[in-house]
A and B are shown apart, each in its own frame.
Chain A
């Protein structure tokens, strides 16, 4: 009984521990808003990124941004600049910085920080309305940020 509990908690700790090459949200260094190195230590997958950007519970980027390259996605919002051609306007490091924490590039912006875990007022547990757990995860994981960046890099005019 006792050893089972031990095992379970060991597994939980292992799962919560970032891979060696991963940069935790609190350890990201922004250089004028930009982040040169991959947050996960791996390359991103553009197809996975596209999915994250259009999924409500994940990036939901289309809530605010229009993306002409995604004509099948209904109800794209018009709150923020359209993302068409965004890879011509920013390089990879800049895009990574904007997706991870847009506030570092655009002071006070409405755009949420997707790779940030502290500094919130009354943070919640996702969309439950309940208080956030002690170890609030970022909205997107390091690899998901990389996937989104990989997709954004395909948006050339």
Chain B
């Protein structure tokens, strides 16, 4: 009690913010309604935990619930969401004849709306190739095989902008990645990575996002580490951050040798982490700090 007051005072002094006296460790109990060009939509940012996660959580929460008021509000209106600029840039790319023979995304797929629903079911094992595909893999397959270009870097601007445009087409759709059948082995591998304590600090994803979700590690309010909001616009980086990129950052912070963005390990991890969010809505482009 006493120490909580100390935190609030210190934080208020440091940030010049007026913090609610009852600020606690828990995710805020609020609803994410987003004003869009097509009216207001309500996003499912809390849900009962999926069956495979019931031993850890009763309820799952989007990371949106753990951010401060100002950051949360930025996601409430597309006009205030800094991530939307990148969606617009990607929309131009989508239509542009960038391929070696003048191909464009639009030429094969019509409008980006044709991608509706995809973000909610990826990563997934592709029916034709039998491989685990993250969205970046789908995009790069088109970029290289169908457009004859060099692959886009996994965390390049072109890639992240396109991730944002495609994710936005599934905004409001409920995450439902498959974890059985051909996905089962990847899922198991991702789960193993999630619970492995890496690095000189010997910390796993679960150490922070399961055992300590809701607690503060220094100034950071630990969320459940969900990726339904990804890619997110991160105020700290003043740019988009993809899930793959976030994993790199989190593992680096354990004083570990990270896996590479787009590696088999992080693809499996993304499937597993996505499955912990089965039941939450895709946010399109979240805003985090």
Contacts and interface: CB of A to CB of B under 8 A. Distances in A.
A4 interface: no
Interface residues of B, number: 35
Interface stretch (A77-85, A88-96, A147-155): A77-85
A41 interface: no
B11 to A, nearest CB: 6
Interface string A52-94: 0000100010111010100101111111001000000000000
A120 B200 CA distance: 6
Given A112-B201, A113-B202, 8 more contacts: A60-B218, A79-B215, A120-B200, A121-B202, A122-B257, A123-B257, A127-B253, A129-B258
A124 B257 contact: yes
A112 B253 CA distance: 12
B255 A74 contact: no
Contacts of B216: 75, 77-79
A136 B197 CA distance: 18
Contacts of A129: 248, 251-252, 256-258
Tell which of A56, A76, A124, A127 has the most Cβ of chain B within 10 Å: A124
Given A77-B216, A124-B258, A127-B253, A66 B3 contact: yes
A131 interface: yes
A76 B196 CA distance: 26
A106 interface: no
A110 B252 CA distance: 17
A125 to B, nearest CB: 8
B256 A78 contact: no
B61 interface: no
A125 B217 CA distance: 22
Interface in B228-271: 248, 251-258
Interface string B1-39: 011101100110110000000000100000000000000
Contacts, number: 103
B95 to A, nearest CB: 36
B197 A76 contact: no
Contact of B200 (A64, A78, A79, A132): A132
A128 interface: yes
Contact of A124 (B6, B25, B219, B252): B252
B252 A127 contact: yes
B256 A124 contact: yes
B203 interface: yes
B40 interface: no
Contacts of B207: 110
Contact of B202 (A73, A77, A112): A112
Interface string A112-147: 110000001111111111111000100100000000
A122 B10 CA distance: 36
Interface in B114-139: none
A64 B216 CA distance: 7
17 contacts: A63-B218, A74-B10, A75-B10, A75-B11, A76-B7, A78-B25, A79-B216, A121-B196, A121-B197, A121-B256, A124-B199, A124-B256, A127-B255, A129-B248, A129-B257, A136-B200, A139-B255
Contacts of A130: 257
B194 interface: no
B198 interface: yes
A123 B3 contact: no
Contacts of B69: none
B156 interface: no
B144 interface: no
A122 B198 contact: yes
User: Which 8 pairs between the two chains have the least Cβ-Cβ distance?
Assistant: A75-B219, A129-B252, A74-B10, A63-B218, A131-B257, A129-B258, A112-B201, A66-B3
